[in-house]
Amino acid sequence: MDIFVIQGGKPLEGTVRTAGAKNSVLPILAAALLTEETLSLENVPDLSDVRTMLRILEMLGAEVEHTGPNRLDIRSRPSAQPVAPWELVRKMRASFEVFGPLLGRRGRAEVSYPGGCSIGVRPVDAHIRGFEALGAKIRTQEGYVVAEAPPEGLPGGEAYLATSSGSSVGATRNVMMAAVLARGRSVLTCAACEPEVVDLADCLNAMGAKVHGAGSPTIEIQGVEALHGAKHSVIPDRIEAGTYVVAGAITGGRVRVEGCRPEHLTALLDALYRSGVGIERGRDWIETQPRDIHKERLRPTDITTQPYPGFPTDLQAQWMVLMTLADGVSVITERIFPDRYMHLAELLRLGARIRRQETAAVVEGVASLSGASIMASDLRASAALVLAGLVSKGQTQVHRVYHIDRGYERIEERLENMGGSIRRESVAVEGQSAPG
């Protein structure tokens, strides 16, 4: 099992380029199941989640060809069985998004209930309601969700996609992919507005779909008879970009994040401004300005996670690390996943002062953190713990870094290139030996 060994206390300095968005590429990969022709993708990040999705697509009959760095061609044969098994779907929640393409193109889908990070209950009820609204018959069977369209295909309909935490991003994408091949018009109300939804819609439209209104709460889709092949470049990952921006801010270094879209990070940039972090930005870059973190402590700044364009839940943990060193008390309120505080206990091990009050965390800033052995619990918590290690005195060991490999492309190499002291090591687990 791999760990990160981090020697803290060094400000980062340098440039990092943003990779393709994990939360865009996974549903776009699934969209390849909607056509027999080739979908050519660029800016595909090299992530374990991407590799998992590709294995699922291959099990469903797709042929995958790596045509260059971060480039893929995918072609889906029509003869494969529309079944996505538990053995692969359990590894990540986004794999459930093959359901919409299978149902839309093949008229039947059988997909295991999904797995993924342990950040609280994340039901697929909104997905199921959406498919039913399009005209599918749904049942559960031995841990699988099974859907069948009428013999003549899905008729289309009006799907309401709200949940108790707001609009469902996954359901919006999944139902949208089912609707593009429906016989009639579909309307998705209370749809998610995230850039990743817009990116998927752009890809679908390049394939011949008729999707209008993506990026707004109402998406209208006129079904078409068939989709064709297309070329599409995945948008930059706003969460990865935001993580590196916070890394620059927390270490007091000059970090320039290139190839990003600053307009996708307005909530984070506003919070950084309010906290006292110096930021410069251009059309496709953001740069943190250097400061002495021991003499120029940041102002405590409250944030509340919200659906886009609000503060992203996927940057909540990283923000908490930044606030552990602010000069005062800040309150972080989690509105999307109320139980997404598994990183809190690990930050306490580093000397942070944080207490949880229901859906909020109250952070009392301290002068410094000190290194320790800590355990990652999910993807974004992993990133936050790495940031904490970069600024802690002494050595920090972050265990279970396989979580971070799901969403960050070679993060240790990129941080090291900016002056961070971080290395990956393989350690033995009980009953095994470390590889030589």
Give kind and range of the element (H or E) at residue 388: helix 379-391
Task: With beta carbons less than 8 A apart as the criterion, state whether 262 and 227 touch.
Answer: no
Q: How many whole angstroms separate alpha carbon 271 and alpha carbon 279?
A: 11
Structure tokens at 92: 């990540």
DSSP E strand stretches across 103-243:
108-112, 137-141, 144-148, 158-160, 162-163, 166-167, 185-189, 210-212, 218-222, 230-233
Structure tokens at 304: 């509340």
- Is 117 known to be catalytic? yes
Q: How many whole angstroms separate alpha carbon 97 and alpha carbon 265?
A: 25
Question: In angstroms, what is the C-alpha Rg of the chain?
Answer: 22
CA distances 216 to 59, 189, 192, 219, Å, are 34, 9, 7, 7
Structure tokens at 177: 């992919």
Task: With beta carbons less than 8 A apart as the criterion, state whether 320 and 344 touch.
Answer: yes
Neighbouring-strand partners of residue 107: none
Task: Return all residues near 367 (Cβ < 8 A) that are at least 6 apart.
Answer: 294, 297, 325
Indicate which residue of 117, 193, 203, 260 is catalytic. 117
Residue type, 153: G
The C-alpha angle 81, 82, 85, rounded to 5 degrees, equals 95
Is 287 in a helix, a strand, or coil? strand
Q: How many whole angstroms separate alpha carbon 66 and alpha carbon 71?
A: 6
Q: Active-site positions?
A: 117
